[in-house]
Structure 1
Amino acid sequence: MADIQGTPTVVVDGVHITYTVHGGHPGGRGSATAALGRMLRRGRTAPAGRRVHAVKGVSFAAYRGEAIGLIGSNGSGKSTLLKAIAGLQPVERGQVYTHGRPALLGVNAALMGDLTGERNVVLGGLAMGMSRAEVRERYDGIVEFSGINEKDDAISRPMRTYSSGMGARLRFSIAAARSHDVLLIDEALSTGDARFRRRSQRRIDELRAEAGTVFLVSHSNSTITETCERALWLEAGTLRMDGPAKEVVAAYEEFTATASKAGTARTAGTKAE
Structure 2
Amino acid sequence: MAEQHAEQATEAPEERRPTVIADDLHIVYRVNGAKSGKGSATAALSRILKRGSDDAARGVRKVHAVRGVSFVAYRGEAIGLIGSNGSGKSTLLRAIAGLLPAEKGKVHTDGQPSLLGVNAALMNDLTGERNVILGGLAMGMSREQVKERYQGIVDFSGIDEKGDFITLPMRTYSSGMAARLRFSIAAAKDHDVLMIDEALATGDRKFQKRSEERIRELRKEAGTVFLVSHNNKSIRDTCDRVLWLERGELRMDGPTEEVLREYENFTAK
TM-score class, shorter-chain normalisation, is: 0.7 to 0.9
SS of the residue corresponding to residue 253 of structure 2 reads strand
Counterpart amino acid of residue 120 in structure 1: N
Which one-letter code corresponds to 1:10 in the other structure? V
What does the per-residue CA deviation read over 1:111-134, in whole Å, with 9 as the maximum and x for residues that have no partner?
111111111111111111111111
Deviation per CA, 1:1-58: give whole Å up to 9, x if none: xx98322011111000001234696xxxxxx4xx1x5323xx3226643210000000
1:89 paired residue number: 100
Q: 1:9 — aligned with what?
A: 19
Q: Secondary structure of 1:189's partner?
A: coil
Q: Is the 8 A contact 2:82 2:229 kept in 1?
A: yes
Instruction: Report if aligned partners of 1:115, 1:158 keep a CA contact under 8 Å in 2.
Output: yes
- TM-align CA RMSD: 1.6
Change (3 A) 1:206 1:18: same
Q: Is residue 2:236 matched to residue 1:225? A: yes
Q: CA deviation at 1:214?
A: 0.3
Contact 1:4 1:63 in 2 (8 A): no
- The Cα shift of 1:89 comes to 1.1
Does the 8 Å contact 1:18/1:53 carry over to 2? yes
> Is 2:28–2:64's contact at 8 Å kept on the other side of the alignment?
yes
Q: TM-score, normalised by structure 1?
A: 0.86
Distance 2:122 2:68 in 1: 33
- SS of equivalent to 1:239: strand
Deviations 1:97-122 (A, max 9, x none): 11110110000001111111111111
Q: Tell me, in whole angstroms, the C-alpha distance in 1 between the residues paired with 2:267 and 2:32.
A: 30
Match of 2:176 among 155, 161, 165: 165
Q: Supply the distance in 1 between the matched residues of 2:189 and 2:39 (Cα, whole angstroms).
A: 51
Distance (Å, rounded) in 2 between the aligned partners of 1:7 and 1:198: 28
Mapping 1:1-273, distance limit 5 Å: 5-22=15-32, 32=36, 35=37, 37-40=38-41, 43-45=42-44, 48-258=59-269
Task: Tell me the TM-score normalised to structure 2 length.
Answer: 0.87
Indicate the SS of the match to 1:253.
helix
1:132-186 Cα deviation digits (max 9, x unpaired): 1111111110001000011111111111111111011000000000100100000
Larger radius of gyration: 2
Following the alignment from structure 2 to structure 1, what is the Cα–Cα distance between the partners of residues 135 and 255?
33
Q: Distance in 1 between matches of 2:199 and 2:82?
A: 14
Please name the residue that 1:264 is paired with: none
Does structure 2 conserve the Cα–Cα contact (< 8 Å) formed by 1:105 and 1:183?
Answer: yes
| Identical-pair percentage | 67
Separation in structure 1 between the aligned mates of residue 117 and residue 59 of structure 2, nearest angstrom: 29
Quick one: structure 1 residues 111 and 142, their matched pair in 2 at CA, closer, same or farther if it must change by over 3 Å?
Answer: same
Structure 2 CA distance for aligned equivalents of residues 188 and 48 of structure 1: 36
Look up the SS of the partner of 2:70 in the other structure.
strand
* Structure 2 Cα separation of the partners of residues 168 and 112 of structure 1: 13
**Uncovered stretches (5+) of structure 2, i.e. residues with no partner:** 1-12, 46-57
1:56 touches 1:237 (CA, 8 Å); kept in 2? yes
Q: Which amino acid aligns with 1:106?
A: G
Distance 1:4 1:63, change over 3 A: farther
Query: Where does the alignment leave 5 or more consecutive residues of structure 1 unmatched?
Result: 26-31, 259-273
3-state SS of the aligned residue for 1:201? helix
